[in-house]
Amino acid sequence: MLVEKSVIFFDIDGTLLTEDKSLPESAKKAIQQLKSDGHEVAIATGRAPFMYKELREELGIDTYVSYNGQYVVVKGEVIYTNPLNEIEIEKFTEDAVKHGHPVVYMNHEEMKANVTEEHAYIQESISSLKIYQMPSHDPEFYKGRDIYQALLFCAEGEETVYENQYDGLHFVRWHPVSLDIVPSGGSKAVGIAKVMEKLNYPKERQYAFGDGFNDVEMLSEIHNSVAMGNAEPEVKEKAKYVTKHVDDDGLVHGLQMVGLLK
């Protein structure tokens, strides 16, 4: 029987990787099977490209949406970038300094912090990604270069002092003490749309798996969307399907649910 070829986008944390940031053998085998069947396997993540290079290499994936849609690569070629506005970053940084909240700036190759000391919130949140190289100090890193995402470090609720103050910035919490800052209007869904301009799969053959609040637009707009069992209720509401918890082979179960795997 001829299998219709599809494109499948996977979030990383809580979707491909378990709660302890390991890649289940079942998920790895599933990706290999999808590729063997001729499907296009891609990643859509809030992470920087340099934060999951080894994972891409392990899985043989060369199409990916990074920084929640701000840096998009198709088959190894950068096809779309959407950097933050430098003037707006500068204004925001001044505001963050007044409130005692550190900021980290990220381009496609590295990340730098505007604080010199090792801040507990930076250590806690970034180390939770199993990334042990912390950003070094460079408060002017955002000047004269493309910054695709910044990180704000503050406790839950403290970000309200920034919201609605910056028309060009969008804040998405990804950790109890950290938020992603991306350009307004930017999302994984936008990044995926750029991929589709290149790969041109019909909407019926597009799939997306995710679990976080930065997956809401993707799960809302992709025709065949699957929320992980570990997703928050608000995220699950946006998906067409809900699978098991990531730690309970949720990825494989979801692929079977939508008919991509037997």
pLDDT tens for the chain, 262 residues long, are 346 899 999 999 999 999 999 999 999 999 999 999 999 999 999 999 999 999 999 999 999 999 999 999 999 999 999 999 999 999 999 999 999 999 999 999 999 999 987 899 999 999 988 887 899 999 999 999 999 999 999 999 999 999 889 989 999 889 999 999 999 999 999 999 999 999 999 999 999 999 999 999 999 999 999 999 999 999 999 999 999 999 999 999 999 999 999 8
CB of 173 closer than 8 Å to CB of 179: yes
240 secondary structure, DSSP code: S
Torsions phi, psi for 116 (to 5 deg): -90, -35
Q: How far is CA 201 from the centre of its chain?
A: 21
Question: How high is the pLDDT of residue 3?
Answer: 61
**How high is the pLDDT of residue 164?**
83
Q: Is the pTM of this model over 0.95?
A: no
Amino acid identity of residue 122, one-letter, is I
Known active-site residue 11: yes
Positive or negative, the CA dihedral 201, 205, 206, 207 is negative
Q: Which secondary-structure segment (H or E) carries 255?
A: helix 250-257
Nearest 5°: CA angle at 258, between 59 and 192?
55
Which residue do the tokens 């986008």 mark? 9
Q: Of 37, 105, 35, nearest to 70 (Cα)? A: 105
Task: Give the C-alpha separation, 34 to 79, whole Å.
Answer: 24
Report the alpha-carbon distance of residue 250 to residue 27 in Å, rounded.
9
Q: Are 259 and 39 a contacting pair, CB within 8 Å?
A: no
DSSP per residue, 50-76: GGSHHHHHHHT---EEEGGGTEEEETT
Give the distance from CA 126 to its chain's centroid: 14
Q: Which amino acid, residue 117?
A: E
Q: Which of 11, 13, 180, 211 is catalytic?
A: 11
Position 2 scores a pLDDT of 46
